[in-house]
């Protein structure tokens, strides 16, 4: 059986891929927190948290995983690759807010609006699915090394 994924030419504000909308347009850092909050909301819900107002769309997507920011850029053309690489796309519109789309079923080149509510697109960010709070491989290796060094020092101390 063949799996079919959608190849979209353009996403629009409020379309069938909309996960939600955030007011005001949040700062560049910590955007995974904003996407994760939308992911955890009930369909059609409105919430206030993290200094933002969240509007969750009525569009249901499965599965929805925690977001890990991968890359960001400017401009309206975005390459999603071969598909399944990215889960979410957040676009910041200065003075309007941030639109979040589910893109887990899309691939290839897409476009997003250059204007949202009459305000210019300032930046977009792509997110992959991930597990929040899990350290990266470098941190894990460093912690393991520190633990082994501590054990080694403790062992030599106890032998004296």
| pLDDT, tens digit (0-9, with 9 covering 90-100), for 67-115 | 999 999 999 999 998 877 899 999 999 989 999 999 999 999 999 999 9
| CA–CA gap between residue 74 and residue 72 (Å, rounded) | 7
Within 8 A by CB and 6+ apart from 15, the residues are: 101
What is the residue-wise DSSP string for the chain? -----B--SB--TTSTTEEEEEES---STTHHHHHHHHHTSPTT-EEEETTEEEEE-S---S---EEEEEEEE-SSEEE-TTSSS--EEEEEETTTEEEEEE-TTB-SEEE--SEETTEEEEEEEEEEEE-TTPPPHHHHHHHHHHHHHHHHHHHHHHH-
Higher-confidence position of 43 and 138: 43
pLDDT digits (tens, 9 = 90+) for 82-91: 877 899 999 9
Tokens representing 82 are: 């071969």
User: Is residue 137 pLDDT above 70, yes or no?
Assistant: no
- Which region, left, alpha or beta, applies to residue 85 given φ > 0 means left and ψ of -120 to 50 means alpha? alpha
pTM for this prediction: 0.76
Mean pLDDT confidence for 7-16: 85
Q: Which two tokens stand for residue 19?
A: 């996960």
């Amino acid at each position: 059986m063949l799996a079919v994924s959608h190849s979209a030419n353009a996403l629009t504000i409020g379309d069938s891929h909309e996960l939600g909308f955030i007011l005001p347009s949040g700062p560049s850092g910590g955007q995974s927190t904003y996407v994760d909050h939308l992911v955890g909301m009930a369909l059609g819900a409105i919430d206030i948290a993290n200094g933002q107002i969240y509007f969750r769309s009525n569009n249901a997507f499965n599965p929805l995983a925690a977001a890990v920011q991968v890359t960001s850029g400017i401009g309206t053309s975005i390459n999603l690759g071969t598909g399944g690489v990215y889960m979410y796309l957040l676009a910041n519109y200065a003075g309007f807010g941030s639109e979040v789309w589910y893109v887990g079923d899309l691939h290839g080149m897409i476009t997003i609006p250059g204007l949202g509510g009459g305000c210019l697109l300032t930046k977009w960010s792509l997110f992959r699915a991930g597990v929040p709070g899990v350290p990266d491989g470098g941190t894990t290796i460093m912690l393991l090394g520190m633990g082994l060094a501590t054990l080694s020092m403790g062992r030599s101390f106890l032998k004296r």
